[in-house]
């Protein structure tokens, strides 16, 4: 064991160079992450500093099996790499044996991808890092045999988008040995700058956005144009009974945790159905990290059908997010939120207000790290309009509003218990107000979630705001 630890130290030193791209996977810094090894019955590996290992006493083929949280939809990694580092303390040869054992197997309901490593001399210790492109031309076979046909681009994309299993070959040679696994990761690409996480859809580009529903699975939306302020936008005529979702391109993925300004976007839905989100059972925004998911439910109603509506979603744990799939699931802790949002593999925005009817949905002005409302001049859009300058806000909250053809309005601030903390009466036109973060008696309000409501005649807008100190 002392010899093994000495050799593992050299492995760790050889892996000290930083990765060139953000990776979603296991570094084994705080446990085995749910990995198993063996064949056919998986075993729980032992934990080392930054790796897992296990003894293999038999003479059969042995694999590392990935945990379920690492799987699901990893289509973001298409064209990038799957990387991992293996080490193997012999007793056998110094090269992979010439048997036809799969080197990597990716399984899904859409089929199986298999990569076979040709016999090659590689050092068992201190180990070797493998980086396999997830694209045609990299040796992937569509099937489980060496003679299976080479995988096409669509087949690789299909398997990655529905990934349910992954097995990595653990040993060089059939025989007793100790196997080690380090740093398994799917590349997500380099983190873009916040200024690059913008989609305004200049003519005639959809910027890589897709629409997903049961009958329109991952189709490219059409491009539309109209008079200012929405000179370019994307839309889809949705005919099926399933909920349509906008699916973000790669530049909006990766690390999106605690980004000031949050995620903002404009939605429009034109059909003859309800003007409210049906049943509130489908989130406005979903963040996926492998099989883990964060969902956001707004505490507001959408506007009249056929008009643009501006949304701003805070990218922080205490701002309306739930850990799971429904509004009944628990609110995540900050650590849970960051663990998912730091490695975002899929981001979806709800496209329609009411599912089950034919409608035309549109998306515009998607921004991350800023909340630019310049694309929605209130005098051209909804009768009442309300937003905040920053969400979350620290200390005080800047409130921007407009009231058009609705007479005087009232702006009120409430806490979670429904108590009114502040109000502005007889508000008219467009302008800005600042809530100081105190109640009407001047007492500071504690940090937390508050609601700002604008009421004018029959029209109401409500925003959920996170106040920080």
> What gap in Å lies between CA 148 and CA 152, rounded to an integer?
12
* Most confident among 15-19, 72-76, 123-127, 318-322 (mean pLDDT): 72-76
Residue 301 host element (H or E)? none
Does residue 356 have a pLDDT over 80? no
Contacts of 388 (CB under 8 A, 6+ apart): 312, 371, 397, 398, 399, 400, 452, 463, 465
Architecture (CATH level 2) of domain 2-189: Sandwich (2.60)
CATH homologous superfamily for 379-469?
Macroglobulin (MG2) domain (2.60.40.1930)
* pLDDT given at position 19: 39
> What gap in Å lies between CA 193 and CA 235, rounded to an integer?
26
Q: Are 66 and 163 in contact (CB under 8 A)?
A: no
Does residue 203 have a pLDDT over 80? no
* pLDDT given at position 249: 92
CATH 2.60.120.260 fits 192-376, yes or no: yes
* pLDDT given at position 394: 82
> What gap in Å lies between CA 138 and CA 62, rounded to an integer?
23
Task: Tabulate helix, strand, coil % of the chain (nearest 5).
Answer: 10, 40, 50
- Enumerate the domain spans of the chain: 2-189, 192-376, 379-469
* Most confident among 144-153, 254-263, 290-299, 382-391 (mean pLDDT): 144-153
> What gap in Å lies between CA 227 and CA 229, rounded to an integer?
6
Phi and psi at residue 290, in whole multiples of 5°?
60, -125
Report, in angstroms and rounded to the nearest whole number, the Rg of the chain calculated over CA atoms: 26
Q: Which two tokens stand for residue 378?
A: 């209130």
Only one residue has tokens 């992937």, namely 140
Q: Are 150 and 142 in contact (CB under 8 A)?
A: yes
What percentage of the chain carries pLDDT values higher than 90? 33
* pLDDT given at position 298: 72
Does residue 354 have a pLDDT over 70? no
Summarize pLDDT for 446-466 with one digit per residue, the tens.
998 899 998 888 788 888 888
Mean pLDDT over 215-231 rounds to 68
Mean pLDDT over 161-174 rounds to 87
- Fold agreement between 2-189 and 379-469: no
Summarize pLDDT for 427-444 with one digit per residue, the tens.
876 667 889 999 988 899
Contacts of 46 (CB under 8 A, 6+ apart): 52, 53, 54
- pTM of the predicted model as reported, rounded to 2 decimal places: 0.73
Angle, vertex CA 348, rays to CA 151 and CA 391, nearest 5? 145
Q: Residue 237: pLDDT band by 50, 70, 90 thresholds?
A: confident
* pLDDT given at position 149: 96
Q: Residue 95: pLDDT band by 50, 70, 90 thresholds?
A: low
> What gap in Å lies between CA 49 and CA 415, rounded to an integer?
46
Does residue 213 have a pLDDT over 80? no
């Amino acid at each position: 064991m002392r010899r093994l630890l000495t050799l593992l130290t050299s492995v760790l030193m050889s892996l000290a160079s930083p990765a060139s791209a953000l990776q979603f996977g296991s570094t084994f810094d705080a446990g085995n992450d749910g990995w198993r090894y063996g064949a056919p019955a998986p075993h729980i590996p032992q934990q080392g500093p930054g790796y897992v290992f296990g003894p293999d006493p038999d003479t059969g083929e042995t694999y590392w099996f990935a945990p379920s949280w690492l799987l699901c939809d990893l289509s973001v990694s298409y064209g990038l790499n799957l990387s991992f580092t293996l080490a193997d303390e012999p007793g056998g040869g110094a090269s992979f044996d010439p048997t036809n054992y799969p080197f990597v197997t990716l399984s899904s309901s859409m089929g199986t991808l298999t990569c076979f490593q040709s016999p090659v001399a590689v050092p068992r210790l201190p180990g070797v890092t493998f980086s396999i492109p997830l694209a045609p031309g990299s040796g992937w076979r569509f099937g489980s045999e060496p003679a299976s046909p080479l995988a096409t681009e669509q087949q690789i994309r299909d398997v990655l988008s529905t990934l349910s299993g992954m097995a990595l070959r653990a040993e060089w040679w059939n025989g007793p040995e100790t196997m080690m696994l380090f740093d398994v990761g799917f590349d997500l690409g380099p983190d873009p700058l916040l200024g690059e996480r913008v989609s305004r859809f200049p003519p005639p580009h959809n910027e890589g956005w897709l629409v997903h529903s049961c009958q329109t699975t991952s189709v490219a939306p059409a491009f539309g144009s109209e008079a200012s302020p929405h000179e370019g936008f994307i839309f889809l005529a949705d005919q099926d009974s399933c909920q349509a979702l906008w699916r973000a391109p790669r530049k909006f993925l990766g690390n999106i945790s605690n980004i000031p300004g949050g995620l903002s976007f404009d939605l429009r839905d034109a059909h003859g159905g309800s003007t409210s989100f049906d049943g509130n059972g489908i989130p406005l925004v979903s963040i996926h990290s492998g099989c883990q998911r964060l969902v956001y439910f707004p505490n507001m109603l959408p506007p009249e059908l056929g008009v643009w509506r501006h949304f701003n979603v805070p990218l922080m744990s205490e701002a309306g997010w739930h850990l799971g799939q429904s509004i009944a699931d628990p609110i995540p802790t900050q650590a849970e939120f960051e663990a998912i949002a730091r490695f975002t593999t899929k981001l979806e925005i709800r496209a329609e207000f009411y599912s089950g009817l034919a409608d035309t949905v549109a998306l515009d002005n998607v921004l991350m790290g800023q909340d630019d409302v310049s694309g929605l001049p209130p005098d051209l859009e909804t009768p009442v309009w309300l937003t905040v300058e920053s969400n979350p806000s620290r200390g005080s909250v800047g409130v921007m509003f407009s009231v058009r053809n609705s007479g005087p309005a009232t702006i009120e601030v409430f806490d979670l218990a429904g108590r009114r903390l502040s109000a502005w009466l007889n508000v008219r036109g467009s302008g800005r107000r600042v809530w100081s973060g105190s109640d009407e008696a001047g007492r500071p309000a504690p940090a937390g979630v508050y609601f700002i409501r604008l009421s004018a005649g029959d029209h109401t807008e409500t925003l959920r705001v996170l106040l920080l100190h």
